[in-house]
Amino acid sequence: MASLISCPHCGTRPKEEFLIRGDATPVRPAPMAAEEAWHDYAHLRANPRGRIREHWQHVAGCRRWLVVERDNFTHEVFGVTDAAKAGEGAR
């Protein structure tokens, strides 16, 4: 059975309709932050196993950015929220 994502705008759709952008947890540094802070933000990422939050775009539907909370080992989806409503538009 195909993996399904519950888009808050379009309903339950197959995961093939979505594009994964990546980790939704990094916080963008202030514009005048130290070079090291920008380096860490742009290049360093944790690669945990288990429950994570990611930015996904519903490219074959509403084209909205979403925050998907899922297990990256089992692919179980725990929740989906609109990134703009969560105050976390795709960065």
Residues 51 and 68: beta-carbon distance below 8 Å: no
CA–CA separation, 81 and 91 (whole Å): 16
How confident is the model at residue 86, as a pLDDT? Answer: 73
Residues 70 and 51: beta-carbon distance below 8 Å: yes
**How big is the chain, counted in residues?**
91
Report all structural domains of the chain as residue ranges with CATH numbers, in order of start: 1-26+45-91 (3.30.2270.10)
88 backbone dihedrals φ, ψ, rounded to 5°? -130, 40
CA–CA separation, 82 and 37 (whole Å): 27
Q: What is the pTM of this model?
A: 0.82
Per-residue pLDDT tens over the stretch 15-70: 999 999 989 989 999 999 999 999 999 999 888 999 999 999 999 999 999 999 99
Query: In which residue are the tokens 């105050």 written?
Result: 87
